[in-house]
Amino acid sequence: MNIFVPLILAAILYIQSAPAFSNVLHYRPHGPGRPDGLLNWLQPPRLQSYPTPTQSTTLISCSELRQIIIRNGYTAGDDLEAHCQILNRDASRLGRIQTRTELAMFLAHVLLETGGLTQFEEHAALVDQQAAARYASPLGRKDKYYFGRGCLQLSWPENYKDASLALYGNGNILIDDPDWVARDINVAWATAFWYWRERVRVVSGVIDSMDFGKTIRAINGQIECSGLDATAQKRFEIYWNILAVFGLPQPVHRNISC
């Protein structure tokens, strides 16, 4: 008998007994909405729509990210370094974020929407099926819900489809599996960077004037910009705190308006 046959049979038996790779992708030791930190395993497929920078850009240190989280009343989790890696890897590549001031605006919304990088699914929709169903549209699948997920709470089938097409070259990937946006730390950030790039930074006044109020209007304007809204005020406070951590100048006039 060929001496390699037993080795081959042993290898086949080992592979059959090993857990499927998809189980690794779906592993969430911290519970719903928490990133699992398996940065090297959780690489989204076909994330090639935007150019990769020729050199690594360090926009934020892990120490700064920790300070930002704590200064705004949140608790830094075990996956802070993974978040830090993704920010420096993809903020410019996927979100076109070029400056620390722009990063401060972006992160202010991320911290508020995720409770300091701890919740990646809309809580109300998780506990109330009617709340989840309000995001339905003919574009979505009948057995799926398109409530807020990810670092900027991606919502509505249209946004899931557009993000999926831009990031992965296939509009059906996130339409068929919207939970992936909350399940995978990379996708949670990638969809947020996409939304920032395509829906926020293109708004007049956001980049040319660094007007934080305009970013609120682009993200949640119908709800928060009709008066003196407490959530909008909280977004401003987080933004100002991030500027302080970055050592950037505060706005001359702290007008809370959007």
Structure pTM? Answer: 0.78
CA atoms of 189 and 193, how far apart (whole Å): 6
pLDDT over 80 at 109, yes or no: yes
pLDDT of residue 216: 96
Whether the CB-CB separation of 108 and 235 falls below 8 Å is answered with yes
8 half-sphere exposure, CB direction, 13 A CA radius: 5
| CB proximity list for 140: less than 8 A, separation 6 or greater | 146, 157, 160, 175
For residues 84 and 252, give the distance between their C-alpha atoms in angstroms, rounded to a whole number. Answer: 30
Q: What is the pLDDT of residues 49-88, one digit of tens each?
A: 334 444 457 999 999 999 999 999 999 999 999 999 999 9
Q: What is the mean pLDDT of residues 24-32?
A: 27
The answer to whether residues 158 and 119 touch, using CB atoms and an 8 Å cutoff, is no
Among candidate residues 64, 81, 113, 237, the one labeled active-site is 113
Q: Which residues contact 112 (CB under 8 A, 6 or more apart)?
A: 231, 234, 235, 238
What are the b/e assignments for 172-190, b being 16+ CB within 10 Å?
ebbbebbebbbbbbbbbbb
pLDDT at 40 over 80: no
Decide which of 127 and 251 is more confident: 251
Instruction: Taking the CA atoms of 162, 168, 170 and 173 in sequence, report the sign of the dihedral they define.
Output: negative
Q: How far is CA 177 from the centre of its chain?
A: 16
Q: Tell me if the domain spanning 31-246 has CATH number 1.20.120.1150.
A: no
Length of the chain: 258
81 labelled catalytic: no
Domain boundaries, the chain: 31-246
Q: For residue 41, what pLDDT is reported?
A: 29
pLDDT on residue 133: 72
Average pLDDT, the chain: 81
Weakest-pLDDT range from 102-106, 139-143, 199-203: 139-143
CA atoms within 13 A on the CB side of 172: 1
Q: Report helix, strand or coil for 251.
A: coil
CA pair distance 183, 37, nearest whole angstrom: 11
**Sign of the torsion formed by the C-alpha atoms of 7, 13, 14 and 20:** positive
Q: What is the pLDDT of residue 125?
A: 65
* Token output for 120: 């990646």
Amino acid identity at 114 = T
Angle among Cα 158, 160, 166 to the nearest 5 degrees reads 100
